[in-house]
Amino acid sequence: MEYYKKDSGILLAVDCIIFGFNGESLEVLLIKRDFEPERNKWSLMGGFVQSNESPEEAASRVLRQLTGLENVYMEQCSVFGEPTREPNDRVVSICYFALIDTQQYKHILSDDYEAKWFPLQKRPALIFDHDQMITSAQHRLRMKAALYPILFELLPEKFTIPQIAALYEGVYNIELDKRNFSRKLLSSDLIIKLQEKDKENSKKGAYFFKLNTAIYKEKIMSFLRYLPSWSIEP
């Protein structure tokens, strides 16, 4: 330990950017901070990495504490470590983003946190550099979604094409040519048409689809084969 005496202590934290899709728009889950500094302001859910856990385990713990969820899609997206990012201590934060279908999990948020879903583009101002964290996570999400169908992790088991289009429009902040988008999606073999129609959210009754899991896994594995081994995340 003598070797490390000259080095200053740095706290290691994790912050979770939790994206959700409510069937119409892309959302982000925020909490109201209950301690100083920046008490009562909106924040990402985070915490410090404990001595007996890895950063990945810490991020999973934070997600579980807030939502009760385990085994959801989550990956590391960036590291924030500016010396002045927090006023009281030197804190380096590793950011992770998770993808959740909010329709399925909207009633299980922990009562210990004042948590609330906000539309991604209409969220309140956040503490410290948390807005930059969301921007970084959104950029990574866009890059991944352009390479393989990661956004299906945000959808319920059965969904309509208009819902998928709305999801892509929310992620990329664009307006799609719906007819062209539908044609390309149907030709991809990624989705399987069901005989049931959505008569609640569609005037004409849009058909429901489900994910073709075999094709989905094949496309993901094809994508991973083109990455160098050191960059493939578990």
d(CA 23, CA 21): 6
For the chain, what's the residue count?
Answer: 234
**3-state SS record for 41-67:** CEECEEEECCCCCCHHHHHHHHHHHHH
Q: Which residue has the tokens 């007996």?
A: 52
- Say which residues have a Cβ less than 8 Å from residue 186's Cβ, sequence separation at least 6: 161
Q: What is the pTM of this model?
A: 0.85
pLDDT tens series, the chain, 234 aa: 566 677 778 999 999 999 999 888 999 999 999 888 899 999 999 999 999 999 999 999 998 888 888 888 899 999 999 999 999 899 999 999 999 888 776 666 767 778 889 999 999 999 999 999 999 999 999 998 888 888 998 998 999 999 999 999 999 999 999 999 999 899 888 999 999 998 877 667 899 999 998 888 877 666 545 444 333 333
Q: Where does CATH 1.10.10.10 sit in the chain? A: 148-234
CATH topology classification for 148-234? Arc Repressor Mutant, subunit A (1.10.10)
Tell which residue, 31, 29, 49, has the closest CA to residue 41.
Answer: 31
- Beta-ladder partners of 98: 18, 74
Query: Hey, what CATH topology would domain 10-147 get?
Result: Nucleoside Triphosphate Pyrophosphohydrolase (3.90.79)
Which residue bears the tokens 């210990």?
112
Every domain range in the chain assigned CATH 3.90.79.10: 10-147
DSSP H/E element including 17 = strand 11-21
